[in-house]
Structures are given as structure tokens and as C-alpha cells.
Amino acid sequence: MNGINSVHFIGIGGAGMSGLAKILIQKGVKVSGSDLSDSKYVERLIQMGAQVKIGHHEDNVPESCDLVVISSAIPVSNPEISRARAMGIRIIKRGALLGELMKLQKGIAVAGAHGKTTTSSMIALILEDAGHDPTIVVGGELCNLCSNAKLGKGEYLVAEADESDGSFLELFPEIAMVTNIEDDHLDYYGSMESIINAFQQYINQIPPGGTAFIGIDDEIARKLKAPQNRKLKYYGLQDSSDFVAKNLLFNAAGSSSDIYYQNKFLGKLELTITGKHNIINALGALGVAMEAGVGFHEAITALKKFKGVERRFQLLGHEKNVKVVDDYAHHPTEIRATLEAARQAHKGRVVAVFQPHRYSRTKQLYHEFGNSFSDADFVVITDIYAAGEKAIPGISGELIFQEAKRRFPDKKIVYKGYDDLIDFLHKTTKAGDLILTLGAGDIWKKGKELIHVLGE
């Protein structure tokens, strides 16, 4: 980062982009940026001194700019990219900037199809609580810190590693984790083999003396190999793992489990969040934190304080004995895990309201989506959130609806337009229901709106 005094972010309002912008501002770099819409991330950056424009225009790029950072969602036709090229300004992706920052500290990076935001947030909280003062860059709002990023003076940088566009291969962390591997982002990789090869390269980039942490419960991830002179440790529910969680218990207040390391009992882990997947996430975070020098009891004390991550099984509110919870789950595996957690924590009816994310993902996985609602009592499928994609003829939320009806003929499953959701849910919701809004789009807005309507 030497010689970089002014950086412009195209798409500055994203969770990952805004976090990096915040770190640079805290380092004394002049930051500007643009985004299509306002958001709390944009407002925070403005309050910190960033110059942010709503909308993309070539005039947004400052004359004094040294570097332009783009997210994977920004097309090459963007007028600000064209302007930066004409000005001869270096343009890099978000992952490359994260890689540059990671060179300044010891990196801890969490990659995987699912669980990386929660797991990296847990690691960050443990190190922060133990006084290690890490730099933190995660893909969601860590509720304990009310932020997605902070500049620390300690030796570690904790980051969520994004595999969606291959940008995690810009990272060379001392400690690298892979939670799991699935056939997501095939639009970028083209094949499952390419996805696996990318994750193997990510592990290969750990420097000598570093450590790889692999989720053993994932049959693809556990086949990854660590290069010579790197340690390889497994975590999960299988007895052959280094870090193992046993005797899992769940209730409305959270969850607990007994933790073992190489067959030695270490103690009990208690969380205020529920779900088997979150115990596994916490187990991985615990292992990484101990590898970074935090004691077991320090780590579990911090994890007991973990309040979760925004849009990860987040309670939006409750009215008329109805709870409304929101979750970012946008892949079949994530939906199954979230609904399983809801079933473990809630005794009443579980109502899943799913907004599919991206036409391409729906086209690739609509069969799997349709089969992911076994733990819901009532399922509502709505329109696809495009996330900037162009519509694909014949691809809609109705594909998932039809598949779910075929898989679960005895369940109540309906297909409703996004604009009709609130009226429908208001009429069909019953006292004792848990309404669970699911998806990476803006379905959470409908959850908040429903609370307001129920309150009236």
C-alpha cells in the first residue's frame, strides 16, 4: 500500500467493499466511491469522511486517484472503469486489495460455500475479546462490534475469503480454513473440478509453518491436501477429527456441546445461537483461535458472548405471539441447515418464506431448492431477486415451487408474487408461528413490514 494516498471504490456500498473502505480510511487514505443506492454502509463511510456518489458516472473518479477498486458485480462497461482506464489509473478487484492488506499482518482467512461469515466473525470476536486487537474484514455486520470491519494494531488480520469469483486466490494466509465445498458459482468456474482445484490452490498458498483447518464433515473438503511443511487440522462431528463436538443440545435459548481435542476432553461450549451448523462453525473458530494463541477457556468465554451476524438467523421482532426471523440462506444446503435450526429452537409452526437469488443459480439448482424444505410446516416461494442478472426465459420461482410440491405433496406450499406477500402472510399467520424470511436479496424488508402490519 506504499504510495497509495487516494482510492476510489466502484460499488462501495457492498458488505465486503465497505469494510475495506473503512480500513483504508482508518489508515489515513483518502477514500471516494459510488454505488447504485444509499445504505447504512454508505452513510457510515460518509460520516467517516468518504466522498460517496449515488449512481455511476465517469465524473465520480477523482483526478488525484491512485487506485480504483471494483467488486465482482461491476460490469466492465461501467463508465467509471472506462474513465479510470483512460486516466491510466490501476484497477484491481476487491480480493486483490484484501490480499495487499493481508501482507501487512498475519492472515487468518475463512473460505467455503457456507458458514464463512459466521465463522470468521466468531474468530474475530475471540481474538478481540482476548486482547489481540485484530484487523477484521468480514462479509456481514458482526453484532458484537456493530460493524463489518475494524483496523487493529495486533498481529492478525481476520477475513472472510470469497470464492465466488476466484478472488480468494489473492490471499496467502498463515491460517486458512475451508468450511465446505459445493457446486455453487458454476457460472464462474464452469465445473466442479475447477472449484475443487481452486480450493486446493488456496490451501497450497499457505506459507511454510502455516496451518489449514478443514471441515471434516464435508466429504469434498476433507479430500484437500496440505503441502509439505504446513499443518493440517480437521474439525467437525466425526471422532477422527482433531477438534470434535459431542453431546449436542439445542433449545430456544441457544445450544451447547462437549469439546474434545485429539480425544482429550477440553470443556463445554455454550452458545446463545442455535443450530448444529453453528456449533460446527464455533468449533472451527475455536480451533483457529487456539492455533493463534488463545486459550480454550478464553475462547469459549468469548463465544458465549457471540450475538450473531446480521441476517444470520436474526430476530427481526415479534408481534401477536408471532416471531419473525431473517436469514441470508440462498443455497439449498443453507436453507436446510437454517430450517433444521428453526425446528430445534421452535415448538410451533415454522413458515419458510423464500426469495430465490439469481436466475442462474435457480436454473442450476431448482431441483435441490425444491427438496430443501423438509423442516418447514408451510412454504411460500416468491419471485427471483435478480442481483443484477438479466432474466433467463422460462426461469422463475415457480420452478422451485413446482419441485417442492412434487417432493412434499402433503405440505402446504404456495407461490406468491413479491408485492402480494404481506397481505397473504397477514391473512395466514397464526399465533405461535415462526416466520422465517430466507434469501440473499431484499426479503428481509418484507419481514420488517410484516412485524409492522401485525402490530397494527
DSSP count for the chain of H helices, then E strands: 14, 21
pLDDT tens sequence for the chain (456 residues): 677 899 999 989 887 889 999 999 999 999 999 988 888 888 999 999 999 999 999 999 998 899 999 987 788 888 999 999 999 999 999 999 999 999 999 999 999 988 888 999 999 999 999 999 999 999 787 778 777 899 999 999 999 998 888 889 999 999 999 999 987 777 778 888 999 999 999 999 999 999 999 999 999 999 999 999 999 999 999 999 999 999 999 877 788 999 999 999 999 999 988 888 899 999 999 999 999 999 999 999 999 999 877 777 788 888 888 889 898 888 898 898 889 888 887 888 999 999 999 898 899 889 999 999 999 999 999 999 988 788 999 999 999 999 999 999 999 999 998 888 999 999 999 898 999 999 988 898 999 898 888 887
Residue from 117, 119, 179, 429 carrying the catalytic annotation: 117
Active site residue 412: no
Residue of 160, 174, 182, 334 with catalytic role: 160
Task: Tell me which residue of 307, 264, 305, 257 sits closest to 283, measured CA to CA.
Answer: 257
| Rg from Cα positions in the chain | 22
**Is 117 part of the annotated catalytic residue set?**
yes
d(CA 156, CA 132): 8
Secondary structure of 14-54 in HEC code, one letter for each residue? CHHHHHHHHHHHHCCCEEEEEECCCCHHHHHHHHCCCEEEE
- State whether the Cα torsion 208-209-215-219 is positive or negative: positive
Name the one residue in this structure whose C-alpha cell is 436474526: 314
> Exactly one of 22, 30, 116, 276 is catalytic; which is it?
116
Residue 160 known to be catalytic = yes
* Cβ–Cβ under 8 Å, residues 152 and 159: no
- Three cell numbers at 157? 488480520
Nearest to 351 by CA among 406, 431, 272, 282: 431
As given in the structure block, the three cell numbers for residue 35 are: 454505488
- The grid cell for 455 is 402490530
